[in-house]
Protein backbone atom coordinates (compact mmCIF):
# COMPACT_ATOMS: atom_id res chain seq x y z
CA UNK A 1 0.00 0.00 0.00
CA UNK A 2 1.42 3.43 -0.96
CA UNK A 3 1.78 6.17 1.63
CA UNK A 4 -1.23 8.12 0.37
CA UNK A 5 -3.51 5.11 0.14
CA UNK A 6 -2.51 4.11 3.66
CA UNK A 7 -3.18 7.62 4.97
CA UNK A 8 -6.54 7.68 3.16
CA UNK A 9 -7.38 4.34 4.76
CA UNK A 10 -6.49 5.61 8.26
CA UNK A 11 -8.69 8.67 7.77
CA UNK A 12 -11.60 6.46 6.75
CA UNK A 13 -11.04 4.35 9.85
CA UNK A 14 -11.03 7.50 12.01
CA UNK A 15 -14.31 8.69 10.41
CA UNK A 16 -15.91 5.27 10.97
CA UNK A 17 -14.75 5.07 14.59
CA UNK A 18 -16.14 8.58 15.12
CA UNK A 19 -19.57 7.65 13.76
CA UNK A 20 -19.63 4.54 15.99
CA UNK A 21 -18.86 6.74 19.03
CA UNK A 22 -21.61 9.20 18.02
CA UNK A 23 -24.10 6.36 17.59
CA UNK A 24 -23.15 4.85 20.95
CA UNK A 25 -22.84 7.99 23.11
CA UNK A 26 -24.81 10.57 21.10
CA UNK A 27 -23.81 14.19 20.51
CA UNK A 28 -22.74 15.92 23.73
CA UNK A 29 -25.12 18.59 24.95
CA UNK A 30 -24.23 22.18 24.10
CA UNK A 31 -25.87 23.59 27.16
CA UNK A 32 -25.80 22.56 30.80
CA UNK A 33 -29.26 24.01 31.27
CA UNK A 34 -31.38 22.64 28.49
CA UNK A 35 -29.89 19.90 26.39
CA UNK A 36 -33.23 19.03 24.78
CA UNK A 37 -33.70 22.53 23.46
CA UNK A 38 -30.22 22.74 22.09
CA UNK A 39 -30.57 19.67 20.01
CA UNK A 40 -33.70 21.10 18.46
CA UNK A 41 -31.93 24.34 17.56
CA UNK A 42 -31.36 23.69 13.88
CA UNK A 43 -29.31 26.58 12.51
CA UNK A 44 -26.44 28.67 13.76
CA UNK A 45 -27.14 31.71 11.64
CA UNK A 46 -29.10 32.32 8.49
CA UNK A 47 -29.28 36.11 8.18
CA UNK A 48 -29.19 36.51 4.43
CA UNK A 49 -27.26 39.37 2.92
CA UNK A 50 -29.44 42.32 2.01
CA UNK A 51 -27.96 45.19 0.00
CA UNK A 52 -28.05 47.22 3.22
CA UNK A 53 -25.92 44.65 5.01
CA UNK A 54 -23.53 44.42 2.05
CA UNK A 55 -23.08 48.20 1.95
CA UNK A 56 -23.21 49.00 5.65
CA UNK A 57 -19.49 48.66 6.31
CA UNK A 58 -18.10 49.92 3.02
CA UNK A 59 -16.35 53.10 4.09
CA UNK A 60 -17.09 54.91 0.85
CA UNK A 61 -18.73 53.72 -2.41
CA UNK A 62 -15.51 54.39 -4.32
CA UNK A 63 -13.86 51.67 -2.19
CA UNK A 64 -16.55 49.03 -2.70
CA UNK A 65 -15.07 45.84 -4.07
CA UNK A 66 -16.22 44.86 -7.60
CA UNK A 67 -19.04 42.31 -7.30
CA UNK A 68 -19.82 39.76 -10.02
CA UNK A 69 -22.51 37.11 -10.16
CA UNK A 70 -20.62 33.83 -10.45
CA UNK A 71 -23.38 32.47 -12.69
CA UNK A 72 -22.97 35.33 -15.14
CA UNK A 73 -19.19 35.73 -15.51
CA UNK A 74 -17.19 33.14 -17.44
CA UNK A 75 -13.91 31.80 -16.14
CA UNK A 76 -12.09 33.50 -19.02
CA UNK A 77 -13.71 36.87 -18.28
CA UNK A 78 -12.80 36.49 -14.61
CA UNK A 79 -9.22 35.73 -15.67
CA UNK A 80 -8.99 38.76 -17.96
CA UNK A 81 -10.72 41.25 -15.68
CA UNK A 82 -9.49 40.18 -12.25
CA UNK A 83 -6.90 37.40 -12.10
CA UNK A 84 -4.53 38.82 -14.72
CA UNK A 85 -4.85 42.36 -13.34
CA UNK A 86 -4.55 41.26 -9.67
CA UNK A 87 -7.83 42.95 -8.82
CA UNK A 88 -9.83 41.66 -5.85
CA UNK A 89 -13.35 40.58 -6.72
CA UNK A 90 -16.36 39.23 -4.82
CA UNK A 91 -18.23 36.45 -6.64
CA UNK A 92 -21.74 36.18 -5.31
CA UNK A 93 -23.77 32.96 -5.63
CA UNK A 94 -20.52 31.07 -6.14
CA UNK A 95 -20.85 28.41 -3.43
CA UNK A 96 -24.62 28.20 -3.15
CA UNK A 97 -24.72 24.81 -4.84
CA UNK A 98 -22.33 23.26 -2.31
CA UNK A 99 -23.68 20.74 0.19
CA UNK A 100 -21.72 22.68 2.81
CA UNK A 101 -23.75 25.83 2.08
CA UNK A 102 -26.96 23.90 2.76
CA UNK A 103 -25.77 21.81 5.69
CA UNK A 104 -23.11 23.53 7.76
CA UNK A 105 -25.32 26.15 9.40
CA UNK A 106 -26.86 23.20 11.23
CA UNK A 107 -24.57 22.72 14.22
CA UNK A 108 -25.85 19.21 14.80
CA UNK A 109 -24.66 18.18 11.36
CA UNK A 110 -21.15 19.45 12.12
CA UNK A 111 -21.22 17.73 15.51
CA UNK A 112 -22.29 14.45 13.93
CA UNK A 113 -19.18 14.55 11.75
CA UNK A 114 -16.71 16.04 14.21
CA UNK A 115 -17.94 16.20 17.84
CA UNK A 116 -15.20 14.01 19.35
CA UNK A 117 -12.36 14.97 17.01
CA UNK A 118 -9.58 17.15 18.47
CA UNK A 119 -9.15 20.59 16.91
CA UNK A 120 -6.70 23.45 17.56
CA UNK A 121 -8.28 26.65 18.86
CA UNK A 122 -6.74 30.12 18.99
CA UNK A 123 -7.79 31.85 22.20
CA UNK A 124 -7.77 35.64 22.44
CA UNK A 125 -9.05 38.32 20.12
CA UNK A 126 -6.25 38.04 17.56
CA UNK A 127 -2.93 36.28 17.12
CA UNK A 128 -0.95 39.45 17.75
CA UNK A 129 -2.55 40.12 21.17
CA UNK A 130 -0.43 39.59 24.26
CA UNK A 131 -2.94 37.27 25.89
CA UNK A 132 -3.19 35.03 22.81
CA UNK A 133 -2.73 31.27 23.21
CA UNK A 134 -3.62 28.00 21.50
CA UNK A 135 -5.39 24.95 22.91
CA UNK A 136 -6.39 21.59 21.51
CA UNK A 137 -9.85 20.38 22.47
CA UNK A 138 -12.69 18.19 21.21
CA UNK A 139 -14.79 19.96 18.58
CA UNK A 140 -17.97 19.72 20.74
CA UNK A 141 -16.19 21.52 23.58
CA UNK A 142 -15.06 24.24 21.19
CA UNK A 143 -18.64 24.74 19.90
CA UNK A 144 -20.09 24.82 23.40
CA UNK A 145 -17.48 27.05 25.03
CA UNK A 146 -16.64 29.44 22.20
CA UNK A 147 -19.10 29.36 19.30
CA UNK A 148 -22.54 29.39 20.90
CA UNK A 149 -23.96 32.72 22.02
CA UNK A 150 -23.14 34.05 25.46
CA UNK A 151 -19.45 33.13 25.47
CA UNK A 152 -17.25 35.91 26.69
CA UNK A 153 -13.83 34.95 25.38
CA UNK A 154 -13.04 34.68 21.66
CA UNK A 155 -11.87 31.27 20.44
CA UNK A 156 -11.16 30.73 16.74
CA UNK A 157 -10.67 27.47 14.88
CA UNK A 158 -8.45 29.29 12.40
CA UNK A 159 -6.37 28.22 9.42
CA UNK A 160 -6.78 24.55 10.15
CA UNK A 161 -6.57 21.82 7.45
CA UNK A 162 -9.80 20.29 8.75
CA UNK A 163 -10.56 18.42 5.54
CA UNK A 164 -7.29 16.51 5.65
CA UNK A 165 -8.30 15.47 9.14
CA UNK A 166 -12.03 14.78 8.67
CA UNK A 167 -12.65 13.24 5.28
CA UNK A 168 -16.39 12.89 5.74
CA UNK A 169 -16.71 16.70 5.46
CA UNK A 170 -14.90 16.70 2.12
CA UNK A 171 -17.85 15.49 0.13
CA UNK A 172 -19.66 18.73 1.05
CA UNK A 173 -17.08 20.99 -0.61
CA UNK A 174 -15.58 21.44 -4.09
CA UNK A 175 -12.36 23.02 -5.27
CA UNK A 176 -13.36 26.42 -6.76
CA UNK A 177 -12.81 26.46 -10.52
CA UNK A 178 -10.90 29.78 -10.23
CA UNK A 179 -8.03 27.91 -8.53
CA UNK A 180 -7.18 26.36 -11.92
CA UNK A 181 -5.87 29.72 -13.06
CA UNK A 182 -2.64 29.53 -11.06
CA UNK A 183 0.60 29.12 -13.04
CA UNK A 184 1.18 25.61 -11.69
CA UNK A 185 -2.51 24.74 -11.40
CA UNK A 186 -1.89 23.43 -7.85
CA UNK A 187 -3.43 23.98 -4.43
CA UNK A 188 -1.01 25.06 -1.74
CA UNK A 189 -3.40 24.85 1.24
CA UNK A 190 -7.07 24.36 2.03
CA UNK A 191 -7.96 25.66 5.48
CA UNK A 192 -11.07 25.97 7.62
CA UNK A 193 -11.94 29.15 9.57
CA UNK A 194 -14.83 28.52 11.96
CA UNK A 195 -15.78 30.76 14.83
CA UNK A 196 -18.21 33.06 16.64
CA UNK A 197 -19.02 36.70 15.92
CA UNK A 198 -16.05 38.98 16.63
CA UNK A 199 -13.07 36.92 15.42
CA UNK A 200 -10.35 39.09 13.91
CA UNK A 201 -7.61 38.11 11.52
CA UNK A 202 -5.30 41.13 11.73
CA UNK A 203 -4.03 42.88 8.61
CA UNK A 204 -1.55 40.51 6.89
CA UNK A 205 -0.38 39.18 3.54
CA UNK A 206 -0.05 35.64 2.17
CA UNK A 207 2.31 34.41 -0.54
CA UNK A 208 -0.42 32.68 -2.60
CA UNK A 209 -3.52 33.70 -4.51
CA UNK A 210 -6.59 32.91 -2.47
CA UNK A 211 -10.25 32.12 -3.00
CA UNK A 212 -11.97 32.62 0.35
CA UNK A 213 -15.29 30.78 0.33
CA UNK A 214 -18.02 31.88 2.75
CA UNK A 215 -20.39 29.09 3.75
CA UNK A 216 -22.03 30.22 7.00
CA UNK A 217 -22.61 33.78 8.24
CA UNK A 218 -20.82 36.91 7.13
CA UNK A 219 -17.55 38.78 7.52
CA UNK A 220 -16.16 42.23 6.89
CA UNK A 221 -13.02 42.20 4.75
CA UNK A 222 -10.71 45.08 3.90
CA UNK A 223 -8.01 44.53 1.26
CA UNK A 224 -5.09 46.91 0.62
CA UNK A 225 -2.98 46.96 -2.55
CA UNK A 226 0.69 45.97 -1.93
CA UNK A 227 1.67 49.52 -3.05
CA UNK A 228 0.35 50.65 0.32
CA UNK A 229 2.93 48.61 2.28
CA UNK A 230 4.88 51.74 3.33
CA UNK A 231 1.72 53.01 5.05
CA UNK A 232 0.75 49.78 6.77
CA UNK A 233 3.35 49.34 9.53
CA UNK A 234 4.71 45.92 8.55
CA UNK A 235 6.15 44.13 11.59
CA UNK A 236 9.90 43.78 11.51
CA UNK A 237 10.37 40.86 13.84
CA UNK A 238 8.91 37.49 14.75
CA UNK A 239 8.86 34.77 12.13
CA UNK A 240 5.15 34.08 12.69
CA UNK A 241 4.21 37.69 12.32
CA UNK A 242 6.57 38.98 9.63
CA UNK A 243 3.67 39.11 7.18
CA UNK A 244 1.49 41.02 9.65
CA UNK A 245 0.90 44.72 10.29
CA UNK A 246 1.40 46.38 13.66
CA UNK A 247 -2.04 47.94 13.23
CA UNK A 248 -3.95 45.81 15.66
CA UNK A 249 -7.04 47.95 15.91
CA UNK A 250 -8.10 48.38 12.29
CA UNK A 251 -11.65 47.52 13.36
CA UNK A 252 -11.85 51.01 14.88
CA UNK A 253 -12.22 52.28 11.32
CA UNK A 254 -15.78 51.10 11.38
CA UNK A 255 -16.84 53.16 14.37
CA UNK A 256 -17.36 56.77 15.20
CA UNK A 257 -15.07 59.69 14.55
CA UNK A 258 -13.62 59.44 18.08
CA UNK A 259 -12.44 55.83 17.55
CA UNK A 260 -11.05 56.63 14.12
CA UNK A 261 -9.08 59.45 15.77
CA UNK A 262 -7.49 56.95 18.19
CA UNK A 263 -6.44 54.75 15.27
CA UNK A 264 -5.05 57.68 13.28
CA UNK A 265 -3.11 59.03 16.26
CA UNK A 266 -1.40 55.69 16.83
CA UNK A 267 -0.80 54.94 13.13
CA UNK A 268 -0.83 58.29 11.29
CA UNK A 269 0.31 56.87 7.93
CA UNK A 270 -2.87 54.77 7.63
CA UNK A 271 -4.75 57.82 6.37
CA UNK A 272 -2.41 57.87 3.34
CA UNK A 273 -3.30 54.28 2.43
CA UNK A 274 -6.12 55.00 0.00
CA UNK A 275 -5.75 52.09 -2.43
CA UNK A 276 -8.12 49.64 -0.77
CA UNK A 277 -11.39 47.73 -1.15
CA UNK A 278 -14.09 46.91 1.44
CA UNK A 279 -16.73 44.24 1.35
CA UNK A 280 -19.15 42.22 3.42
CA UNK A 281 -18.63 38.60 2.51
CA UNK A 282 -21.93 36.72 2.76
CA UNK A 283 -22.79 33.04 2.78
CA UNK A 284 -22.66 31.69 -0.76
CA UNK A 285 -19.93 34.19 -1.82
CA UNK A 286 -16.33 33.63 -2.83
CA UNK A 287 -13.69 36.35 -2.56
CA UNK A 288 -10.59 36.55 -4.74
CA UNK A 289 -7.66 37.93 -2.70
CA UNK A 290 -4.55 38.25 -4.92
CA UNK A 291 -1.25 37.11 -3.44
CA UNK A 292 0.67 39.62 -1.33
CA UNK A 293 -2.37 41.88 -0.95
CA UNK A 294 -2.95 42.96 2.64
CA UNK A 295 -6.21 41.73 4.14
CA UNK A 296 -8.05 42.21 7.41
CA UNK A 297 -11.01 39.93 8.24
CA UNK A 298 -13.61 40.32 11.00
CA UNK A 299 -16.58 38.01 11.51
CA UNK A 300 -19.96 39.72 11.93
CA UNK A 301 -21.81 36.57 13.03
CA UNK A 302 -21.02 32.93 13.63
CA UNK A 303 -19.07 32.10 10.52
CA UNK A 304 -17.56 29.23 8.54
CA UNK A 305 -15.18 29.99 5.68
CA UNK A 306 -12.63 27.99 3.73
CA UNK A 307 -9.51 29.48 2.15
CA UNK A 308 -8.13 27.88 -1.01
CA UNK A 309 -4.57 29.04 -1.58
CA UNK A 310 -3.33 28.22 -5.06
CA UNK A 311 -0.20 28.63 -7.17
Ligand X SMILES: O=C(O)CCC(=O)C(=O)O
Q: Does 232 help bind ligand X (rule: CB under 6 A)?
A: no
Q: Does 307 help bind ligand X (rule: CB under 6 A)?
A: yes
Judged by CB under 6 A, the residue of 83, 98, 126, 193 near ligand X is 193
Q: Does 297 help bind ligand X (rule: CB under 6 A)?
A: yes
- Per the DSSP assignment, residues forming a β-bridge with 279 are 221
Supply the minimum distance, in Å, between the C-beta of residue 13 and ligand X.
Answer: 30
141/210 with CB nearer ligand X: 210
Supply the minimum distance, in Å, between the C-beta of residue 173 and ligand X.
Answer: 15
Supply the minimum distance, in Å, between the C-beta of residue 221 and ligand X.
Answer: 8
- Interface region with ligand X, contact rule CB under 6 A, candidates 3-11, 61-69, 103-111, 205-213: 205-213
- Interface region with ligand X, contact rule CB under 6 A, candidates 97-105, 193-201, 226-234, 260-268: 193-201
**Which three-class secondary structure string do you get for the chain?**
CCHHHHHHHHHHHHHHHHHHHHHHHCCCCCCCCCHHHHHHCCCCCCCCCCHHHHHHCCCCHHHECCEEECCCCCHHHHHHHHHCCCCCEEEECCCCCCHHHHHCCCHHHHHHHHCCCEEEEEECCCCCCCCCEEEEEEHHHHHHHHHCCCCCCCEEEEEECHHHHCHHHHHHCCCCHHHHHCCCCCEEEEEEEEECCCCEEEEECCCCEEEEEEEECCEEEEEECHHHHHHCCECCCCHHHCCEECCCCHHHHHCCHHHHHHHHHHCHHHHHCCCEEEEEECCCCEEEECCCCEEEEEECCCEEEEEEEEC
248 within 8 A of 200, measured Cβ to Cβ: no
Judged by CB under 6 A, the residue of 122, 206, 248, 283 near ligand X is 206
Judged by CB under 6 A, the residue of 212, 215, 250, 286 near ligand X is 212
- Interface region with ligand X, contact rule CB under 6 A, candidates 10-18, 30-38, 136-144, 199-207: 199-207
113/295 with CB nearer ligand X: 295
Q: Does 210 help bind ligand X (rule: CB under 6 A)?
A: yes
Supply the minimum distance, in Å, between the C-beta of residue 85 and ligand X.
Answer: 20
45/210 with CB nearer ligand X: 210
179 within 8 A of 79, measured Cβ to Cβ: no
Q: Does 224 help bind ligand X (rule: CB under 6 A)?
A: no
Site for ligand X in 239-268 (CB under 6 A): none
Binding residues for ligand X, total number by CB under 6 A: 10
Query: Which residues contribute to the site for ligand X (CB under 6 A)?
Result: 193, 199, 201, 206, 210, 212, 295, 297, 305, 307
Amino acid sequence: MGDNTYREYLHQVADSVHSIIVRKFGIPSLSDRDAENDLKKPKLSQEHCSNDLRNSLVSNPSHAIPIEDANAISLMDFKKKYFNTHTPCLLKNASKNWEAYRKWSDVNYLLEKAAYRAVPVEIGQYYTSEDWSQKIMPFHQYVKEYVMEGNTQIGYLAQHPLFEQIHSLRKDIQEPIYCMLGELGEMSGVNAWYGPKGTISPLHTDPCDNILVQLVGHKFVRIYHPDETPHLYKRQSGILQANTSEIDNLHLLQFEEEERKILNEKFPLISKATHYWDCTLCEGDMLFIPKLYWHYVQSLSISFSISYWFV
